[in-house]
Structure 1
Amino acid sequence: MYVQGKSVAIIGTRGYPSYYGGFETAVRHLAPYLAEAGWSVTVYGRPGTTRPEDPGRDPRVRSRITRGVESKSLSTLSYGFTASMDAVMRRRPSVALVMNVANGFYLPLLRARGIPTLVNVDGIEWDRQKWGRAAKTMFRAGAKMTARFGDELVFDAHAIGDRWRSEFHRDGVFIPYGGTPSDLPPPPLDVTPGEYALVVARFVPENTIPEFLEAARTIARERPVVIVGSSGYGGELDDAAKQLDEEMPNVHWLGHVSDDNLLFSLLQHAGVYFHGHSVGGTNPALVQAMACGAPVIARDTVYNREVLGAKGTFVDPVPKKIAEAVLRMIGDPEAQRAARENSKQRSAAHYTWELVCERYEHALAELAGRP
């Protein structure tokens, strides 16, 4: 859809192109797609989170850096405020794509200037263990503001939409995340393709990281274990992963990986990818693992069942059960083959970036065209 004279400001990510998380991955695909379709695109970001010389940067996408407070509890709020103010006072876009309900507090500013908003509500942040009481209260208050002032909402999973309809009486559009298929050589690690267990996750309790690290001690006695991720702030889980890496030759902790080719290669050649995310919606890491054809074992949640479907393999968040399920699949070539096939089929049918970007553009164009 070519949209002449339309402009969009994307607020609530770390910038373009950034490799931090799911929002940033989505924007790396969406911003160039919109620019190609004739939109003027501005992505707001934070200092030091992008590289101007990044070869993946599309020169048609404008990056706008604002200031904020760098802290676990205030960064999203502060950068959201300065980006929203800049959009209101200087950019005046046709429409704003706002990521995260924490930025719901600033939707009245955008509305007052006649800027319609499409808000990706993300997951149910107030359910996450990593947040204290004050943060959970803030997220829920932001969700209430989003429900009141957001012109259109995006749910990345049907189960997220169910929660919003029941708790906030708001409907929205379903737009999940996409994945990029890969055909890469094995990763440059001392591991045999198809023989290692892999986890890719931010180090927070609700991602089942403590349980997986304990299970890894059992798995590593028989198979290599590759761990990708960190907390970003240090702490007990990072220390535990480092200790495993130092004590057990079969454990490889890589920390945060921003090299897509390395990450996709790890996923493509894994014997098992364990996905332990328990809250949120359609998880970008899971969708990307599926696009790479990884054999997935996922924590049993309504979100993971929605994405993997009836043929998925699920496990309770218990270290012994995780270890048993991982070792059983790695040792069973037929189970691996079936899991890989399920990943590829589900990815191609429901979770492609073309489909995702198409839906975002349609929703943005409808909002931009409203009187």
Structure 2
Amino acid sequence: MEYRISILGIRGIPAKHGGFETFAEKLSLFLVAKGWQVTVYCQENGEGDRWESNWQGVRRIHIPVSRDGAAGTVIFDLKATRHALSQQGLFLTLGYNTAIFNLMQRIKGQTNVINMDGIEWRRDKWGFIAKTWFWLNERAGCWVGNHLVADHPKIKEHLATRVSADKITMIPYGGDQVESADIDLLTPYGIEPHQYSIIIARPEPENSFLEMVRAFSKTRRNHKLVVLGNFTPQSNSFHRQVMEAASDEVIFPGAIYEASIVQALRFFSRFYLHGHRVGGTNPSLVEGLGAGCAVIAHDNHFNRWVAGPGAAYFKDESACAAAFDSLLADDAAMARMKAASLARFHERFTWPQVLREYEELLTRWYPSK
């Protein structure tokens, strides 16, 4: 049998935007190597007719959208879903943010597996209208999807309050092990290996940026804290608050998208700080484990399952400060935590393991007609 799959819900491949795009790239190439015919919908800026291209054996359908931001993404998802109605085979939708559009596929009788991502409507950054939209689409995704994927056991538990647990398969996000990196890439930032710790996340309140920066800045550390993220203090009061709370040992290099630089900064760090309070299996945390980072994470059931018992955890600012106080000078603890991160990574989060589980699920749900 010739297997065909169309992937919706992302901006496109190769990955340039985030975790779902990276996953779609990995899965597409994996399935192509297995003999699948893979189609991925790609969002483009501008106007005009859609066009097609081939990228490493993957058929890409490019759909131009003239609007920016969330509105443009909604328009793109609508156009992609409408085009998908003419396609054959299986469908994989990554995210439920516009799951109401997938109702068209359900009505037509297409088989659609939906990765339900995190609990988006719980995020602090969204206003009432956005939260309502996400809440409604989460409900819609649970109903119109033929089968659901949860990337974390707690996400599966949450979805099981909406639908039968038999309709949900838990498969986490994956990552690559980083065994080496270019030490010279640290030079522009004035830092030395293991003489700095790092935060890599979107600078949102729910990611504990203010608590972590305040905790670090309470006292002189003789250590650097590198905070990656797109900070705009002129227009964002929270960003301004974080930067004003920082001591002169905190470095804000901005958002860095060059993978080799991010990889080096993560690989040579003393500790990787992960403040996410909402979500499932977070890609950045998995990548930290794969790089063998010693992890200090916000204490919640999402992070504890991913990072495991070998990480250090904090509930609030004072606990985070205490972690810095006790761990920064403890080489033995850092070494134990790094080893624990790699062990946890190999236990559950390598790409070959994750992609094999997806292939098994998708094959099982492939339509018989």
> How much has 1:72 moved relative to structure 2?
4.6
**Partner residue of 2:177 out of 181, 197, 213:** 181
Partner of residue 354, structure 1: 352
- Tell me the distance in 2 between the aligned counterparts of 1:279 and 1:69: 32
Q: Deviations over 1:167-198 (max 9, x none)?
A: 44453111111111111132423112112110
> How much has 1:229 moved relative to structure 2?
1.7
Partner of residue 122, structure 1: 117
The amino acid of 1:136's aligned partner reads K
Q: Deviations over 1:63-112 (max 9, x none)?
A: 222244645543442221111112113xx031111011112102221123
2:227 aligned counterpart, secondary structure = strand
Please show how residues 158-177 of structure 1 align to structure 2 within 5 Å. Answer: 158-170=153-165, 171-177=167-173
- Tell me the distance in 1 between the aligned counterparts of 2:231 and 2:161: 32
> How much has 1:241 moved relative to structure 2?
5.8
Q: Deviations over 1:26-48 (max 9, x none)?
A: 11211111111111112112225
- Tell me the distance in 2 between the aligned counterparts of 1:231 and 1:127: 23
> How much has 1:221 moved relative to structure 2?
4.6
Partner of residue 321, structure 2: 323
The amino acid of 1:9's aligned partner reads S
- Tell me the distance in 1 between the aligned counterparts of 2:310 and 2:216: 25
> How much has 1:312 moved relative to structure 2?
2.4
**Partner residue of 1:61 out of 51, 58, 61:** 58
> How much has 1:240 moved relative to structure 2?
4.9
**Partner residue of 1:88 out of 81, 85, 88:** 85
The amino acid of 2:309's aligned partner reads A
**Partner residue of 2:26 out of 10, 26, 29:** 29
- Tell me the distance in 2 between the aligned counterparts of 1:219 and 1:272: 17
Partner of residue 101, structure 1: 96
The amino acid of 2:268's aligned partner reads H
Higher mean C-alpha deviation, range 351-360 or range 250-259: 250-259
Report the RMSD for the aligned CA atoms in angstroms.
Answer: 2.4
Question: Structure 1 residue 191 and structure 2 residue 186: aligned?
Answer: no
TM-score (norm 2): 0.89
Question: Structure 1 residue 236 and structure 2 residue 234: aligned?
Answer: no
Partner of residue 361, structure 2: 363
Number of aligned pairs? 356
Task: Tell me if structure 2 keeps the 8 A contact 1:201–1:230.
Answer: no
- Tell me the distance in 2 between the aligned counterparts of 1:231 and 1:100: 26
Task: Tell me if structure 1 keeps the 8 A contact 2:142–2:162.
Answer: no
* Distance 1:338-1:32 versus aligned 2 partners, 3 A rule: same
* Distance 1:241-1:261 versus aligned 2 partners, 3 A rule: farther
Question: Structure 1 residue 215 and structure 2 residue 215: aligned?
Answer: yes
Please show how residues 125-136 of structure 1 align to structure 2 within 5 Å. Answer: 125-136=120-131
The amino acid of 1:251's aligned partner reads V
> How much has 1:24 moved relative to structure 2?
1.2
Task: Tell me if structure 2 keeps the 8 A contact 1:67–1:82.
Answer: no
Q: Deviations over 1:123-182 (max 9, x none)?
A: 011111111111111111111111111011000000100011124445311111111111
Higher mean C-alpha deviation, range 236-245 or range 294-303: 236-245
Q: Deviations over 1:212-245 (max 9, x none)?
A: 2333433665211111122699623444566678
Partner of residue 51, structure 2: none
* Distance 1:69-1:172 versus aligned 2 partners, 3 A rule: farther
Q: Which runs of 5 or more structure 1 residues have no equivalent in the other structure?
A: 50-56
**Partner residue of 1:43 out of 40, 43, 46:** 40
Partner of residue 285, structure 2: 286
Higher mean C-alpha deviation, range 69-78 or range 293-302: 69-78
- Tell me the distance in 2 between the aligned counterparts of 1:61 and 1:220: 52
* Distance 1:237-1:65 versus aligned 2 partners, 3 A rule: farther
Task: Tell me if structure 2 keeps the 8 A contact 1:203–1:231.
Answer: yes
Higher mean C-alpha deviation, range 293-302 or range 260-269: 260-269
- Tell me the distance in 1 between the aligned counterparts of 2:198 and 2:94: 29
TM-score (norm 1): 0.89
Task: Tell me if structure 1 keeps the 8 A contact 2:123–2:206.
Answer: yes
1:145 aligned counterpart, secondary structure = helix
- Tell me the distance in 2 between the aligned counterparts of 1:227 and 1:258: 14
Question: Structure 1 residue 344 and structure 2 residue 339: aligned?
Answer: no
Please show how residues 201-212 of structure 1 align to structure 2 within 5 Å. Answer: 201-212=201-212
Q: Which runs of 5 or more structure 2 residues have no equivalent in the other structure?
A: 47-53
* Distance 1:133-1:143 versus aligned 2 partners, 3 A rule: same
